[in-house]
């Protein structure tokens, strides 16, 4: 008899209700990993996420489509006093990438834990009754996951309850007209909502969650190196500045204007990632420009977290302040495009620069063997990680228009959402 499968690496499948669903998502409770995202378009099946063929491959191919926490990106190693409203705590990020750098939550971040799927959504403590009703009607293909991060975990103070909603929403609206006179169809949306609160009294902690997902919209065409590269993908990021980094990748506390640099994607003749491509690739944090209207808050008082509050509905709105598209990524040949709206202040754009093909595996749908030694190389994915700027509580100068310092105190609720819309436009035959 075969050994029972590890439940942490047994995919949970979400599909939009249809005979031929336009979207289907495989989730692994281990690391809250988005293992596959299938898109059906024009009779072709695409998986637009890179990654290993075998779910257990994520153990060694770290940070591939996993959640990141308690704090995303790079922090300086050390001991930092936190004070607010008479509450005092100390955070001491643990070294992992380098002796002076704590990357993605430390030695054992959120990506290395198995998350508990809530069989009964009403057991949620961080989604209101109004939100659960919205989820049931507008994101019925969804699941809420939970974990508790203990006080002192990786040097972070306070016992933290975290819940994450992962779901698929049906396409809405008629096809839209494109600038070349064609039509673009919405195939549906992936919705991520992260919530957290400190269970302990009189505690304060930095928090900055994200999904470290990497996209390639053409790889499933399997047309050789050209479709495995994302340099011909078009990208648009609505940002005026990036965070200045020191040689170790840590924030210096200063923002740099993107104008006249390779980071100004709207200035490129064709908007292609490969135009003015940096020698070492992209690995930058972009701070979004001022949005047109105030966004749903990332941190709010628990007293405002009332039964009728519906921030999930706000995230799904097509005409509210949360609807503004801040990032767009389009494939060169597949006709697929993904666009993002979020209440987060910025995005880390990374082009898989440190990938070593010999040490990883590539999905068969992307032309790989599925075995280690045949992995993805540099420039094969666009990672788009939506969160707040690096070390924002240390460096006020990087916070940008939002002004958020990423500190959560007892009596507050953390609220982070990303909605990714998937689009299809028939490629030109000209």
Model confidence at 426, pLDDT cuts 50, 70, 90, reads confident
pLDDT tens track for 349-371: 999 999 999 999 999 999 999 99
The residue whose two tokens read 């640099």 is 261
pLDDT for res 103:
98
Is the pLDDT reported for residue 344 higher than 50?
yes
Q: Where are the domains of the chain?
A: 9-425
Q: What is the pLDDT of residue 45?
A: 96
The stretch 77-89 carries a mean pLDDT of: 96
pLDDT, one tens digit per residue, over 277-312 is 999 999 999 999 999 888 999 999 999 999 999 999
pLDDT band, very low/low/confident/very high, at 181 (cuts 50, 70, 90): confident
pLDDT of residue 429: 55
Question: For tokens 């998502």, what's the residue?
Answer: 25
**Per-residue pLDDT for 237 more than 50?**
yes
4 pLDDT exceeds 60?
A: no
Partners of residue 206 on adjacent β-strands: 407
Residue 331: its pLDDT value, please? 97
Examine the pLDDT at 255 and tell me if it is beyond 60: yes
What tens digit of pLDDT does each residue of 318-329 get?
887 788 999 999
Check pLDDT > 50 for residue 1: no
Question: And the tokens for 212?
Answer: 């470290």
363 vs 371: CA distance, rounded Å: 8
What pLDDT score was predicted for residue 2? 42
Q: What class does CATH assign to 9-425?
A: mainly beta
Q: Are 221 and 53 in contact (CB under 8 A)?
A: no
Residue range 16-20: mean pLDDT, rounded? 80
Q: Output the pLDDT for position 401.
A: 93
Q: How many CB atoms lie within 10 A of CB 412?
A: 22
* Average confidence score pLDDT of the chain: 94
pLDDT above 70 covers what percent of the chain?
A: 98
**pLDDT for residue 227 is more than 50:** yes
Judged by average pLDDT, the poorest of 173-182, 184-193, 239-248, 306-315 is 173-182
Q: What is the mean pLDDT of residues 10-39?
A: 94
| Predicted pLDDT at 65 | 98
- What does the alpha-carbon distance between residue 128 and residue 193 come to, in Å, rounded to a whole number? 13
Radius of gyration of the chain measured on its C-alpha atoms: 21
In this predicted structure, the answer to whether residue 430 has a pLDDT above a threshold of 60 is: no
Residues ≥6 apart with Cβ < 8 Å to 16: 22, 23, 24, 141, 168, 170, 188
Q: Is the pLDDT of residue 19 over 90?
A: no
Alpha-carbon span 316 to 193, nearest angstrom: 11
pLDDT for 173 equals 77
pLDDT at 258 exceeding the cut of 60: yes
Q: Is the pLDDT of residue 240 over 50?
A: yes
pTM, whole model, 2 decimals? Answer: 0.96
From CA 223, how far away is CA 233, in angstroms rounded? 15
Burial profile 174-207: b = 16 or more Cβ within 10 angstroms, e = fewer: eeeeeeeeeebbbbbbbbbbbbbbbeeeebbbbb
pLDDT number for residue 428: 64
């Amino acid at each position: 008899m075969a050994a029972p499968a590890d439940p942490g690496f047994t995919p949970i499948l979400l599909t939009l209700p249809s005979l031929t669903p336009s979207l289907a998502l495989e989730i692994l409770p281990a690391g809250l990993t988005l293992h596959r995202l299938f898109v059906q378009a024009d009779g072709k099946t695409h998986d637009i996420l890179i990654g290993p063929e075998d779910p257990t491959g994520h153990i060694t191919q770290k940070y591939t489509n996993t959640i990141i926490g308690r704090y995303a990106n790079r922090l300086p190693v050390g001991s930092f006093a936190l004070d607010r409203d008479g509450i005092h705590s100390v955070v001491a990020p643990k070294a992992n990438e380098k002796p002076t750098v704590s990357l993605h939550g430390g030695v054992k971040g959120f990506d290395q834990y198995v998350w508990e799927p809530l069989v009964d959504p009403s057991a949620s403590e961080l989604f209101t009754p109004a939100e659960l009703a919205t989820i049931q009607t507008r994101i019925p293909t969804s699941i809420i996951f939970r974990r508790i991060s203990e006080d002192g975990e990786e040097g972070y103070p306070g016992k933290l309850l975290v819940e994450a909603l992962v779901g698929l929403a049906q396409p809405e609206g008629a096809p839209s007209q494109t600038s070349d006179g064609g039509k673009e169809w919405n195939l549906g949306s992936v919705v991520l909502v992260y919530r957290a609160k400190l269970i302990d009294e009189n505690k304060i902690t930095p928090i900055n969650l994200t999904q470290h997902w990497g996209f390639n919209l053409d790889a499933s065409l399997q047309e050789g190196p050209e479709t495995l590269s994302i340099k011909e993908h078009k990208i648009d990021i609505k940002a005026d500045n990036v965070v200045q980094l020191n040689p170790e990748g840590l924030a210096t506390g200063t923002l740099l204007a993107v104008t006249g640099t390779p980071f100004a994607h709207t200035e490129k003749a064709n908007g292609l990632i490969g135009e003015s491509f940096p020698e070492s690739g992209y690995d930058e944090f972009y701070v979004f420009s001022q949005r047109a209207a105030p966004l749903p808050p990332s941190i709010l008082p628990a007293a405002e977290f009332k039964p009728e509050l519906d921030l999930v509905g706000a995230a799904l709105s097509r005409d509210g302040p949360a609807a503004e598209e801040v990032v767009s990524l389009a494939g060169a040949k597949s006709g697929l495009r993904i666009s993002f709206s979020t209440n987060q202040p910025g995005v880390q754009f990374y082009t898989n620069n440190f990938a070593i093909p010999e040490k990883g595996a590539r999905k068969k749908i992307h032309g790989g063997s599925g075995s280690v030694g045949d992995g993805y190389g540099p420039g094969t994915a666009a990672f788009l990680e939506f969160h707040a700027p690096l070390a924002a509580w240390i460096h006020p100068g990087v916070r940008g228009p939002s002004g958020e310092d990423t500190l959560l105190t007892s009596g507050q609720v953390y609220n982070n959402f990303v909605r990714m819309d998937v689009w299809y436009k028939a490629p030109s035959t000209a």
